[in-house]
Chain A
């Protein structure tokens, strides 16, 4: 009886270990922070790309409009891939795009915009990457969807694709 009980305990323990390791095999080993709940837009002061003036965040985001905050840089290859999709989104009247130029050289960034077009209603400069941290970003490109009540409701890590564009369009309808 005693041996049977010990065997039972060992089997339970080994099964437990097996399940843990098996689940671990299938789980992705890279952590991606998720926006599981609505988050307020951070309050910040940033330099405007064209005018060089500092602007407060409350003057950038107006109520009753959807916004997309897109973190980009001229040196970022995936940013080029998503740029036509941003141009496509910028034609939509119910959304405004804000670009966050991340750790970039001004001349290169300007050339990028001149060459590929400007989808943004405003571009802000994030020279040291701290503005990106305020948004909860950790790389480039990253895209945030902000609703009419100034809440971040979606976060897309990496370049956006047509599927994401469709998702955004269905939300802002």
Chain B
């Protein structure tokens, strides 16, 4: 009886862990698919799209996850095939320097103007 209990317990534990790994893969798959642009209906992500291209990408991503590829490796695979534009979240490289650095420059420029204004207001009060 005790052995049977142990077997049942082991069975349950192994099954739960399998379910968990499936769930983790599903979460990862959704996260990746939401970050890939559908090249047919270009405003939509592959996750939301019903196009044939999107369904092929869904299969590919599923296959790559099952092969044990990490999220970044899957993005790299897709970028090699379709370019940076296929990923919604662009990487920092020579083509995207302006995209990444311009907001920072504008922020610093705005900050400098505000700082200058505050300093001049203080000087005027004195």
A interface vs B, CB < 8 Å? 29-31, 33-34, 39, 103, 128-130, 132-136, 138-139
Contacting residues, chain B, for A132 (C-beta < 8 A): 56
Stretch at the interface among B3-11, B21-29, B77-85: B77-85
Contact of B53 among A29, A34, A135, A139 (CB under 8 A): A139
- Chain B positions within 8 Å of A128 at CB level: 55-56, 59
Dominant SS among interface residues on chain A: loop
Max chain B CB contacts within 10 Å: which of A34, A39, A133? A133
Q: Which of A29, A129, A130, A138 contacts B82 (CB 8 A)?
A: A138
Residues of B within 8 A of A138 (CB): 39-40, 53, 82
For B33-70 the 0/1 string (1 means CB < 8 A from A) is 00000011010000000001101110110010000000
Is B87 engaged at the interface, CB distance under 8 Å to the other chain? no
Which DSSP category, helix, strand, loop or mixed, fits chain B's interface?
helix
Contact partners of B32 in chain A: CB under 8 A = none
Closest to B39 in A: A138
**How long is the Cα–Cα vector from A103 to B53 in the complex, in angstroms?**
11
- Asked whether, in the complex, the Cβ of A133 is within 8 Å of the Cβ of B39, the reply is no
The interface residues of chain A lying within 8 Å CB-to-CB of B39 are 31, 33, 138-139
Given contacts A129-B56, A133-B56, A133-B57, contact A33 B42 (CB under 8 A): no
Q: Which residues of B line the A interface, CB within 8 A? A: 39-40, 42, 52-53, 55-57, 59-60, 63, 80-83, 85-86
Listed A/B pairs (8) with beta-carbon separation below 8 Å: A33-B81, A33-B86, A34-B83, A103-B52, A128-B56, A129-B56, A132-B56, A139-B53
| Contact in complex: B42, A30 (CB < 8 Å) | yes
Closest to B56 in A: A129
Question: Is A33 within 8 A of B59, CB to CB?
Answer: no
Please name all residues of chain A whose beta carbon is closer than 8 Å to the beta carbon of B40 when the two chains form the complex.
138-139
Pair B52/A129 contact, Cβ less than 8 Å: yes
For the complex formed, measure the closest distance between the CB of A10 and the CB atoms of chain B, giving whole angstroms.
12
Residue of A nearest to B106 (CB): A13
Residues of A within 8 A of B63 (CB): 130
Q: Please indicate the chain B residues that have their CB under 8 angstroms from the CB of A136 in the complex.
A: 80-82
Q: Are B85 and A130 touching (Cβ within 8 A)?
A: no
B83 contact set on A, CB distance < 8 A: 31, 33-34
**CB < 8 Å neighbour of A130 from B42, B56, B86:** B56
Closest chain A CB from B102 CB (angstroms): 10
Could you tell me if A33 and B56 are in contact, using CB atoms closer than 8 angstroms?
no
Cα A31 to Cα B38 in complex, Å, equals 10
Task: Please judge, given known A-B contacts A30-B42, A31-B39, A33-B39, whether A129 and B85 are in contact too, CB under 8 Å.
Answer: no
**Which of A33, A34, A103 has the most chain B CB within a 10 Å cutoff?**
A33
How far apart sit A33 and B42, CA to CA, in the bound complex (Å)?
12
CA gap between A30 and B41 in the complex, in Å: 9
Q: Do A129 and B81 have beta carbons less than 8 Å apart?
A: no
